[in-house]
């Protein structure tokens, strides 16, 4: 997934996303994991999840995009209330069996009257089982499907679901399910207000230290490299057009 593809997919509002669409969210780490996956260019809409990547894109392209993520500090509550008001249905898939069940318990306690037509963990014993799950979701025909399998598995899943004939809107959500098992408002007020969600995640999940201290610097290197390439190619294209 390259910047020329990403930039075309940043301008959207969840309430105006058309049916049969796929939506995912990028932070520096997920960009690092997906930058060479051409299939993901088929994703319809992208949100920038993380202040750092938001700052970089706004700086390079003079944009004014805001952070958006499928969690309870951003998009998720808005979508839930939209579903209730419009009588729309929703299906959740991802994480482990205990985590998805814990998530559903927390969600039902916090958001009443949400039409949850099904939920399932995100692991498959075979391709055949995965295909059966895709067919089941399509038969249930929820308005929204929320997928939390980690990048790039969740992106591949929503594309497979779309290609299999799903007519609704599919969102990825990363680690949202297991985070919410600890409470609907996963991020304490201070960390959320001052955009220190990444720091709180390290406190809560020390295993993520490697991601932030090792993979994030690598991610930033490739982000700037790809941005410079994009700028150079765009400049060359403009000059060629002028010469014509």
Contact assessment for residue 151 and residue 211, using Cβ atoms and an 8 Å cutoff: no
pLDDT-derived band at 115 (thresholds 50, 70, 90) equals: very high
At 66-111, the pLDDT tens digits run: 999 999 999 999 999 999 999 999 999 999 999 999 999 999 999 9
Residue 244 has a pLDDT of 55
Q: Helices H, strands E: what count in the chain?
A: 12, 6
Residue 95: left (phi > 0), alpha (psi -120 to 50), or beta?
left
At 203-217, the pLDDT tens digits run: 999 999 988 889 999
Q: State the residue range of the domain holding 36.
A: 3-243
Q: For the chain, what is the domain count?
A: 1
The pLDDT of 214-230, averaged and rounded, is 91
Please list the alpha-helical segments (H only) found in the chain: 3-6, 28-34, 51-61, 75-86, 97-110, 127-140, 153-164, 176-180, 189-193, 197-204, 209-210, 216-243
Residue 232 has a pLDDT of 85
């Amino acid at each position: 997934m390259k910047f020329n593809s990403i930039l075309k997919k940043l301008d959207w509002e969840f309430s105006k996303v058309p049916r049969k669409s796929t939506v995912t969210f990028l932070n520096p780490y997920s960009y690092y994991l997906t930058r060479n996956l051409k299939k993901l260019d088929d994703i319809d809409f992208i949100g920038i999840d993380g202040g750092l990547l938001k700052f970089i894109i706004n700086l390079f392209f003079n944009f004014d995009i805001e952070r958006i993520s499928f969690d309870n500090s951003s998009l998720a509550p808005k979508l839930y209330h939209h579903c209730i008001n419009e009588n729309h249905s929703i299906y959740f898939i991802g994480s482990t069996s205990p985590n998805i069940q814990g998530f559903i318990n927390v969600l039902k306690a916090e958001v009443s009257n949400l039409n949850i037509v099904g939920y399932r963990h995100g692991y498959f014993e075979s391709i055949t089982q995965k295909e059966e799950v895709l067919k089941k979701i399509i038969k249930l025909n929820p308005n929204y499907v929320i997928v939390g399998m980690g990048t790039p598995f969740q992106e591949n899943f929503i594309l497979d679901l779309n290609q299999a004939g799903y007519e609704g809107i599919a969102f990825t959500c990363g680690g949202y399910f297991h985070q919410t098992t600890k409470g609907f408002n996963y991020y304490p007020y201070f960390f959320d207000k001052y955009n220190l969600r990444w720091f709180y995640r390290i406190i809560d999940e020390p295993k993520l230290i490697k991601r932030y201290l090792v993979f994030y610097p690598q991610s930033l290197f490739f982000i700037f490299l790809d941005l410079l390439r994009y700028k150079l190619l765009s400049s060359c294209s403009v000059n060629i057009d002028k010469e014509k």
